[in-house]
Amino acid sequence: MEISLFMTEKPLVILASARKQGFTKNFLNTIFANKDYDLVDLLDFHISPYSYANNYPSTDEFLKIIEELIRHKVIVFATPVYWYAMSGIMKTFFDRFTDVVTTKKHLGRLLKGKSTFLLAVGAEEELPNGFEIPFKLTSDYLQMKYQGCIYYSTKFPITQDRLQTITQQFKSKVKSINC
């Protein structure tokens, strides 16, 4: 596999919703209104479950997504809250990080120093306790810098003021890392 050395300043969003145009995608569109970013919608890719035998079908596209992560300085994981945790498709994607610390270590090393964010959308007033832990610890393990979470609760109607506050919070976090 040949990796491009070109690194882009645009954030890369990894979207992991079961719906193409659900609350998470709509919130993402609002947060990134008038901002250039790249999107990987995990629904558009075939990602096989992790295999201890490292035996994946030729249709598996996990490494294609890793190539995209390597090309970006900022990675935003966007997921709805499903049963108090990340979506199943995001969990499958995270399980596959095992490949970049075992059989594809050279790729895992290229993730070092990248900044990561979490954008979560759920129906509860507050993000469930512990929800951020897999994102923070995975970032730490891969020597990436976890920069925090922006949570949007669908329980409350979205007002222009509330949306502007949330959007500014996120943009100030991204801006603080020169993106």
Calculated CA dihedral for residues 79, 83, 134, 59, nearest 10 degrees: -60
Indicate the pLDDT class of residue 8, thresholds 50, 70 and 90: confident
Q: What is the pLDDT of residues 125-144, one digit of tens each?
A: 899 999 999 999 999 999 99
Which domains does the chain show, CATH number per domain? Answer: 12-175 (3.40.50.360)
Of 8-12, 32-36, 79-83, the least confident: 32-36
Report, as an integer, the average pLDDT of 12-19.
96
Tokens 């969003």 belong to residue:
13
According to the model, what pLDDT value does residue 3 have?
A: 53
Q: Residue 4: what pLDDT?
A: 53
Position 7 confidence tier, pLDDT thresholds 50, 70, 90: confident
Mean pLDDT of the 98-125 span: 95
Buried b (16+ CB within 10 A) or exposed e, 79-96: bbbbeeebbebbbbbbeb
Does residue 173 carry a pLDDT above 70?
A: no
Give the global pTM: 0.89
Q: Is 47 left (phi over 0), alpha (psi -120 to 50) or beta?
A: beta
Per-residue model confidence as pLDDT tens digits over 51-74: 999 999 999 999 999 999 999 999
- In contact, 45 and 61? CB cutoff 8 Å: yes
